[in-house]
A and B are shown apart, each in its own frame.
Chain A
């Protein structure tokens, strides 16, 4: 579809939830490719299954959710067939994830550096000094001073926390970063700062992004390709510009119409 061989290829993915009254299919036959260095947006309202997809891709979904059908190929290999060891090594280094609330993904009782060290020790068997240098380098990359490494998460602002998470997600040079509403809890100015930084970092480091949000306007600014989800299905998929200029599906049009826009705001 996009590149000759996609980095990530989701094929006919179905995710079910066990409920007292039977199974509920949250994701229905979703197929989606993400090319190398591509930013793909997944948009939809709450409950449409977009976060369920994000968690399933990392195999972070927990019961009562289970993947009932489909394949997830990362660089040609089926993630669903990975043994536990392989899966753990692949998380962070092959694909990493940035969640909506950085406060929930950072450990509140460890300093920022301890959290870096945790990851570096486990994946790279790195010693304390090497880890410190690596962590400082990553912090600088996202525009944070190295002395913030000794801060606890609650001592940082929301934007800084999300930058820390982003720095951690990029440390092991993953080829794909899944971002589930990464800036929804932030103010618009900080949101723009962080997203522009991601675009710039992608240029220097080279990685793909699966970007999940309900904010279509933001997605159109950031993603190369957009898929729109409704009730577990992808109803429309296309280049970002085409989805803005000429949406084909009724639901996409409805989403656009539902958003008040300010005309011609100055840059």
Chain B
């Protein structure tokens, strides 16, 4: 087994929210999160909004320092004793692709500007023009027509491809992709997922894929981690986690994924029963995780203190 590219070890993050009126509120956004991503593989973080999956991604790109725990990239703590060069190397190797392709590109600059700057800043061999064209072809955009365009002249899918091109330009080894397809139309979503898959397989780029769409997680990621209330409920091979979830919360989440083969024709009692069950599972899943049981090789399921394995 190879050493993981990225690993989170017992990472916690507590935010202190200071409202205009009233007392400071503590929000435990991450609680003791342990995860790892291998080179050239994808880990999907799935969960509902507020589960801490985006907070996880933001910690990895060093948006803030965790309150506890360590994040290692190639075995080195990303917050400890780094030199200027080391910093730069990390910022180069770990790139982010955001949800909103309208907000993540500067509307006043051409696509050329967006790709040329990272190429210049992070250097590298070869002719600039040839590299620009090469990168655009890599993300399946036509270099001849795309380079001089402004973001508003591109579709959402094309813009998202530019975001991936920007990550490629600096030679990213890990791309943190936060809901990269959720704002795209259904018919182009899959082509962007296919691009991610290709980058992973051909370029050996690792992905931390953050999503609420479990079907796409299954499509792209070898491993999946289910998060709820800042904790990892279950993690393991995507096939196992998604087709035979073991944790009550993962079961609930996966059962709610739209499935055209199953109709919502339940009566009032069933609807109420589902809501009750959902509430009970959520309440139980929010309790602190005491540990993880390995139910199959690499497949971990959380248990809370009270139930005890």
Q: What are 15 A-B contacts defined by CB distance under 8 Å? A: A191-B258, A196-B264, A196-B271, A196-B274, A199-B271, A200-B268, A203-B268, A214-B185, A220-B258, A221-B259, A258-B186, A259-B190, A265-B257, A265-B259, A266-B245
- Decide yes or no whether B72 CB sits under 8 A from chain A: no
Digitize B243-284: 1 where CB-to-A-CB distance is under 8 Å, 0 elsewhere. 111000001111111111111111110111011001000000
Specify which of B186, B271, B272 is in contact with A216 (CB 8 Å cutoff).
B186
Which residues of chain A are near B214, meaning CB under 8 Å? Answer: 188, 262
Question: Which of A188, A257, A262 has a CB less than 8 Å from the CB of B242?
Answer: A262
Known contacts A193-B278, A266-B254: A260-B260 contact under CB 8 Å: no
Q: Is the CB of A188 within 8 A of B256?
A: yes
User: Which residues of B pack against A, CB within 8 Å?
Assistant: 48-49, 185-190, 193, 212, 214-216, 218-219, 242-245, 251-268, 270-272, 274-275, 278
State the CA gap A52–B216 with chains docked (Å): 29
Q: A46-B185, A192-B274, A197-B275 are in contact. Are A266 and B266 (CB under 8 A)?
A: no
Q: Determine whether the beta carbon of B259 is less than 8 Å from that of A259.
A: no
A98-120 interface with B by 8 A CB criterion: none
Cα(A188)–Cα(B264), bound, Å: 14
Q: Which residues of B contact A259 (CB under 8 A)?
A: 186, 189-190, 215
Contact A254 B187 (CB under 8 A): yes
Residues of A in contact with B, size category: 35 or more
Chain A interface, DSSP helix/strand/loop, else mixed: helix
Assess whether A45 is in contact with B186, with CB atoms less than 8 Å apart: yes
Q: Given A189-B253, A259-B186, are A199 and B264 also a contact pair (CB < 8 Å)? A: yes
Q: Which of A143, A188, A200, A263 has the most CB of B within 10 A?
A: A188
Whether B186 pairs with A214 at a CB distance below 8 angstroms is: yes
**Which of chain B's residues have a CB closer than 8 A to the CB of A197?**
271, 275
**Interface 1/0s, chain A 195-221, versus B by CB < 8 A?**
111011101100000000011111011
For A265, give the chain B residue with the smallest CB separation. Answer: B254
- Interface secondary structure of B, over-half rule: helix
Question: Are the C-beta atoms of A189 and B48 separated by less than 8 Å?
Answer: yes
Chain B residues in 8 Å Cβ range of A196 = 264, 266, 270-271, 274-275
B218, A262: Cβ atoms closer than 8 Å: yes
Chain B residues contacting A235 (CB-CB under 8 Å) are: none
| A232 CB, nearest partner CB in chain B, Å | 16
Task: Compute how far the CA of A196 lies from the CA of B255 in the bound complex, rounded to whole angstroms.
Answer: 13
Q: How far is the CB of A48 from chain B (nearest CB, A)?
A: 9
B278 A189 Cβ-Cβ under 8 A: yes
Q: Give the shortest distance, in Å, between B258 (CB) and chain A (any CB).
A: 4
A65 within 8 A of B: no
Q: In the complex, A192 Cα to B263 Cα: how many Å?
A: 11
- With A221-B260, A262-B243, A267-B255 already in contact, the answer to whether A255 and B187 are too (CB < 8 A) is yes
B14 to A: closest C-beta gap in Å: 21
The yes or no answer to A261 lying at the interface (CB within 8 A) is yes
Question: With A254-B187, A258-B187 known to touch, is A188 a contact of B257 (CB < 8 Å)?
Answer: yes
Residues A193 and B244 in contact, CB atoms below 8 Å apart = no
Task: Enumerate chain A residues within 8 angstroms of B244, measured Cβ to Cβ.
Answer: 266
Please, how many angstroms separate the alpha-carbon atoms of A214 and B186 in the complex? Answer: 7
Interface centre among A197, A220, A262 (most CB of B within 10 A): A262
Q: Let me know if A83 is at the binding interface, CB within 8 A.
A: no
Going nearest first, the 9 A-B pairs with the smallest beta carbon separation are A220-B260, A187-B48, A260-B219, A217-B258, A200-B268, A218-B258, A196-B271, A188-B256, A192-B256
Closest to B49 in A: A187
CA distance A160 to B196 in the complex (A): 36
CA distance A194 to B272 in the complex (A): 10
* Cβ–Cβ < 8 Å partners of B189 in chain A: 258-259
CA distance A259 to B245 in the complex (A): 22
Check if A244 is an interface residue, CB within 8 A of chain B. yes
Inter-subunit contact B48/A188 (CB<8 Å): yes
Please measure, in the bound complex, the distance between the C-alpha atom of A216 and the C-alpha atom of B189, giving whole angstroms. Answer: 14
Once the chains are docked, how many angstroms separate the CA of A221 from the CA of B256? 11
User: Closest Cβ of chain A: how far from B65's Cβ, in Å?
Assistant: 29
